[in-house]
Amino acid sequence: MVKRGFLCSLVAGLLFCAPVLQGQNRPGTISGLVRDESGSPRQGVTLTITHKDTGTKGAAVTDNQGRYQIPNLALGDYEIETALSGFRVARREQSLRVGKEKAEVDLTLEAGEGNRSGRIMPEAPNDKTPYDEWLEKLEIPVSQGLAVEDTRKIEVKPWKETGGLGAYFRLSGTQFLDARVEELPPGASLKGHRHLHEENIYILEGKGYTMLQQESRRPQKIEWQRDTAFSIPLNVFHQHVNTDAKNPARFLALTNFPFTLNTFGNPQFVGGVEYAFRDRYDAEENFTKLSTNQGGREQIMNVIPNVKQSVLYQYESRGVGATAMNVRLGGNQVLGGAGISEIPAGRYHRAHAHLNEAFIYITEGEGYSLIWEDDFKKRTKVDWKEGSLVGVPKYWYHQHFNIGEKPARFVRYTTSGYLSRLGTNFQTGDVPYEEENPEVEKLFRASSRVIDPVMEEIWKKKKTGSN
C-alpha cells in the first residue's frame, strides 16, 4: 500500500516541499556529494528534486560530509537543484529507470551573490568524525532530511545492541544531537546499559517502566505510559521493560550522543565508565515526583507523567496566545533546553533562529513548519501531525503554524542553556509579525481551517501601518 508521506506542492509559484521519508515503497534513490569550488564538502546545502512529469518534489540537506540522500522516489526524470546562501544554484538532471533505480548525483557549488554577513557558520570538516564512522556501521534504518512523518509507525529493525528494534534519525545533518525510536516486543526488556551522554525519553506507545540502578543504591522504577517524558540521569545504569504482554512499547530517545562520541572518540568508553554522578542522581525517594517551579515557565522535574496534561504558562514573546514550559529534566547540563509548547487554533508562532540544533516532537494537533536558512524564498514547508518529528538545523529560521481546530502541542529538545553558558549563544531573535513576508499570511489563510480574529487584527495593522 502506498501511504502518503510528506508530499510537496507548488503554491503560488513557490517551492514548498518536504522529505518523503517513509512508507512509500518507491524504488528510487538519488544520493550524492556536494562540494564547493575548492573541493571541500559543503554541509547544510538544501537539495530539492522535482519529478518532471508529476511535479512531485522531495528534499534533503547535506550532512557534515557534504552527502545527501533522497529515498523512496518514483521512477522517472528528475531535476535536482541546490540552495545555499552565498552560492549560485547548481542544477542537474537525472533519470531513474528499471534496473537503474539508484543514482549518484554529485554537484559543485560556485560562489555567487549573497554572503553570510557575519553569521557564524562552521566549515564542513574534511575528515569523518567518530560519530560519522559509528553511524556508517549502524544496523538499523537511518532517516535523513528535515522531518519524519510518524515516528509511531516508522519501520523498525532488530538492533542487537539494545536487544529490541530501532530506527535512527539524523535529521538536518546534526553533529550535536540525535534521535531514534526504540521498540520493545510484548513483555520484553531491553538490555541494561549506561552512558556518558544525556538522554531524554518520550513514550510513544505502550506501558512499562525503566529501572534505574545507581551504584550501591536501591534500584528505582520510572513508571511510564504513552506521553510520559523523562530523562535518564547521567551514566546511571538503566533498563527499559515492557509490562504489556500483548502489545509492543515504543519510545523516542533524544540524546547528545554525537557530541559525546566526538569528544571521546570511543563508543566503548562512552558506554563503559563506572562513575556515579551522585550530584545528578542518588536514588532520592522523591526523584520521580520532583516538580519545582522556578518562576514563570521554568520548571525542574525528572518525570513528566503526561505531556498532554502538563500546565503551560504564557509565552507571548514566541507568538500571540502561545504557552510553554521549559523543563530541566534529570539534572541535564547539555540537554538543558527541553520544553513543551502550545499554539492555539488559528494562530502561529513568530519565526526565529538560534545556534542550537533542535528536535521537535508533535504530541497533539496538526500544522506545518516553515524552515529556511537566510532567504525566505528558499524555504521548506514541513507538514506535521501527532507523531511527527522535526529537526531544525542550527542557525536556520523556523516558524510553526497550527492549522487544526484544536491547540497544537509539541515537546522540544535543544542545547540552549549549555551553549549560552559557553558564551557561544547566537540568537538572531524573533521576526516580528509586522516584518514577516506577506506570503506567510497567504499560506496560513490557504492552509488553516481556523483563522483567529487576533491574527486578522495583526495582519490589518501591518497593512495599514498602525500600532
Per CB under 5 A, residues contacting Fe ion are: 199
The answer to whether the CB of 251 falls within 8 A of the CB of 210 is: no
Question: What's the min distance (Å) between Cβ of 86 and Fe ion?
Answer: 23
Question: What's the min distance (Å) between Cβ of 79 and Fe ion?
Answer: 32
Judged by CB, which is closer to Fe ion: 199, or 374? 199
The 8-class DSSP code of residue 136 comes to H
CA distance 424 to 419: 6
Question: What's the min distance (Å) between Cβ of 317 and Fe ion?
Answer: 12
Torsion, CA 391, CA 393, CA 396, CA 402, rounded to 10: 0
CA distance 6 to 11: 15
Q: Which residue has the cell 508521506?
A: 5
Judged by CB, which is closer to Fe ion: 199, or 227? 199
Judged by CB, which is closer to Fe ion: 358, or 455? 358
Judged by CB, which is closer to Fe ion: 72, or 414? 414
Question: What's the min distance (Å) between Cβ of 360 and Fe ion?
Answer: 8
CB-nearest residue to Fe ion: 199
Q: Which residue has the cell 501511504?
A: 3
Question: What's the min distance (Å) between Cβ of 195 and Fe ion?
Answer: 6
Residue 80 phi, psi dihedral angles, 5° rounding = -115, 135
Q: Which residues 6+ apart lie within 8 Å of 465 measured at CB?
A: none
The answer to whether the CB of 353 falls within 8 A of the CB of 359 is: no
Taking the CB of residue 429, how many other CB atoms lie within 10 A of it? Answer: 11
Question: What's the min distance (Å) between Cβ of 392 and Fe ion?
Answer: 6
CA distance 49 to 165: 32
- Taken in order 18, 21, 23, 29, the sign of the CA dihedral is positive
- Taken in order 395, 432, 410, 412, the sign of the CA dihedral is positive
Question: What's the min distance (Å) between Cβ of 164 and Fe ion?
Answer: 12
Phi-psi region of 351 (alpha: psi -120 to 50; beta: other; left: phi over 0): beta
Judged by CB, which is closer to Fe ion: 199, or 383? 199
Judged by CB, which is closer to Fe ion: 5, or 337? 337
Question: What's the min distance (Å) between Cβ of 443 and Fe ion?
Answer: 19
DSSP H or E segment with residue 220: strand 220-225
Judged by CB, which is closer to Fe ion: 70, or 411? 411
CA distance 317 to 66: 36
* 3-class DSSP assignment, residue 407: coil
Question: What's the min distance (Å) between Cβ of 240 and Fe ion?
Answer: 8
Which triple of cell numbers denotes residue 353? Answer: 533562529
Judged by CB, which is closer to Fe ion: 132, or 199? 199
Judged by CB, which is closer to Fe ion: 87, or 348? 348
From residue 393, alpha-carbon distances to 241, 261, 265, 457 in Å are: 33, 20, 23, 32
Question: What's the min distance (Å) between Cβ of 199 and Fe ion?
Answer: 5
Judged by CB, which is closer to Fe ion: 68, or 395? 395
